[in-house]
Amino acid sequence: MGDAAVSIGTAPSEITLENIVRHPEGRQILTCIQCGLCAGTCPYGEVMAYPPRRIIGMLRAGMLEKVFTSDSLLACVACYSCMAKCPRNIQLTEVLLPLVKEQVFLRLSQLPTELHKALENTLRYGNPMAESPRKRAAWVKTAGVPIRILAEDPRPVDVLWFVECQNSYHPRGQDISRATARIFCALGVDFAILGNEEKCAGECARLLGETGLFDTLMDYNMAVFSKYQFKRIVTSGAHAYDAFKYQYPDGFRYGVEHTTPFLSKYVDSLKPRLTRKLGYSVTYHDSCCLGRHNGFYEEPRLLLRTIPGVKLLEMPHNRINALCCGGGGGGMWLDTYYKAKGYERLSERRVKEAVKTGADVIATSCPYEISRFEDALKVLGFDKKMAVKDVTELLSEAMEG
């Protein structure tokens, strides 16, 4: 658990190779052997002016300004591929790239509009979609099961379920939330949510270089957490999971889990409840945060295999090699920007691979993936062939009554 939002200062004159290297994470760049595995595995490696390998090379050569004034890093979707493959274990995605991106961010004369709006909205409304914070828990009324909101009932609770932005506001995200709530109730999990007090965890902003926004959200979230008593946080947000686990301060005394691995521990209780046979063939898409970053490859598969009638098919790029949906690190709000530059949409790249497996369903575990893959299926004309469902949706579907 490193320092929250490692930052090397905002004034250009403060950034030198010396003070980059003075940070333990920054010093790691001295160990880079320039093997190029990072650039080779990067999904946008071939379109970046400066992929990770070159960035490290340029930093070491003292060419800081050249790196910081290039918009090459806007093409980084924070997929953890480079970090997972680096033979030197350089904390690329988690530390070095955000550190560099913070400087890039300060120098950008203009942000792509969609990204600009998403960041402003996140600061102002606690979510990137410009939805009112007072509507964040509106979906609860349609959940069909009782859901405790801590502001209304502040008694101590076992699990604080951090729902996340997409899963609170987006119609498909709300489907996931309803499914999750239903499963929690069926399993007798003692849980509550923050409701309208919940705000974005800000991890994608941090990965993009907007550390100020991350810090502001973190300050807010820490203050809200301290109001209530709970043992652990379980979140549906894969990026939120990373924020709490790796970035929040050392004083963060709660255990953190993501819903998918959390539920995988309940397989024995779940199995008898999964009585409806689904009859789908399913291919599981490993999300970057859960998979490459945290190694939760088998847990979602275990859950899927527990569902009767589900046949599991693997895509060629699975587990550590999975292809990112393109939503991380700001990518969620840069589709138009990438398109204008002629980059292939990563969600489309992945969906093509998924369709080739012949599966009926792509199963997902990160909130961004649902809308990105559904969109890609429509654009490519495969939306009648294949559906996208979150793992929790499939579990809920198999749970009768």
- Least distance from C-beta 350 to other proteins, angstroms? 17
Proportion of the chain in helix, strand, coil states, percent, rounded to 5: 55, 10, 40
Q: Is there binding between residue 370 and other proteins (CB under 8 A)?
A: no
List 2, 36, 57, 212, residue binding other proteins (CB under 8 A): 212
- State the residue for tokens 């409304």: 125
Tell me which of 12, 271, 340, 341 binds other proteins, using CB under 8 A.
340
The amino acid that residue 295 corresponds to is G
The Cα 323–Cα 298 span in angstroms is 17
Region of 41-49, 104-112, 259-267, 311-319 interacting with other proteins (CB under 8 A)? 104-112
Q: Does 351 bind other proteins (CB under 8 A)?
A: no
Instruction: Tell me the DSSP string of 292-334.
Output: IIT---HHHHHHHHHSTT-EEE--SS-GGGPPP-S-GGGGGG-
- Kindly state whether residue 102 participates in binding other proteins, applying the rule CB under 8 A: yes
Residue from 28, 91, 211, 264 in contact with other proteins (CB under 8 A): 211
Q: What's the closest the beta carbon of residue 130 comes to other proteins, in angstroms? A: 6
CA 175, CA 43: separation in Å to the nearest integer? 30
Residue at token pair 């964040």: 136
Pairing outcome for strands 230-235 and 255-258: parallel
* Window contacting other proteins (CB under 8 A); options: 15-23, 154-162, 207-215, 259-267: 207-215
CB of 123 to other proteins, least distance (A): 6
Of 7, 72, 321, 357, the residue at the interface with other proteins (CB under 8 A) is: 7
Q: How many residues bind other proteins (CB under 8 A)?
A: 40
**Sole window of 15-23, 118-126, 315-323, 362-370 interacting with other proteins (rule: CB under 8 A):** 118-126
The token pair that represents 35 in the structure block: 């093997």
Is 322:291 a contact under the CB 8 Å cutoff?
A: yes
Residue 10, helix vs strand vs coil: coil
Binding to other proteins by residue 106, rule CB under 8 A? yes
| From candidates 203, 335, 360, 390, binder to other proteins by CB under 8 A | 335
Smaller CB distance to other proteins: residue 28 or 371? Answer: 371
Whether residue 306 contacts residue 270, with contact meaning beta carbons closer than 8 Å, is answered with yes
Cβ-based nearer residue to other proteins, 7 or 72: 7
Does position 316 interact with other proteins (CB under 8 A)? The reply is no
216 binds other proteins (CB under 8 A): yes
- Distances in Å between the alpha carbon of 189 and those of 156, 158, 161, 244, 397? 13, 8, 10, 21, 19
The whole-angstrom separation of Cα 360 and Cα 357 is: 9
119 belongs to the binding site for other proteins (CB under 8 A): yes
Query: Which residues, numbered 140-179, are part of the site for other proteins (CB under 8 A)?
Result: 170-171
Q: Within 10 Å of residue 250's Cβ, how many Cβ atoms?
A: 9
Residue 205 C-beta: closest distance to other proteins, Å: 8
**Residue written as tokens 């009767």?**
308
Binding of other proteins by 383 (CB under 8 A):
no
Rounded Cα gap, residues 150 and 230, in angstroms: 10
Please report whether residue 110 would count as binding other proteins according to CB under 8 A. yes
Strands 191-192 and 361-364 come out as: unpaired
Task: Indicate which single residue of 34, 69, 113, 142 sits in contact with other proteins (rule: CB under 8 A).
Answer: 113
Question: What is 328-377 written as a DSSP string?
Answer: GGGGGG-HHHHHHTTPPPHHHHHHHHHHHTT-SEEEE-SHHHHHHHHHHH
Which residues contribute to the site for other proteins (CB under 8 A)?
A: 7, 10, 102, 105-106, 108-111, 113-114, 116, 119-120, 123-125, 129-132, 134-135, 170-171, 210-213, 215-216, 333, 335-336, 339-340, 371, 375, 378-379
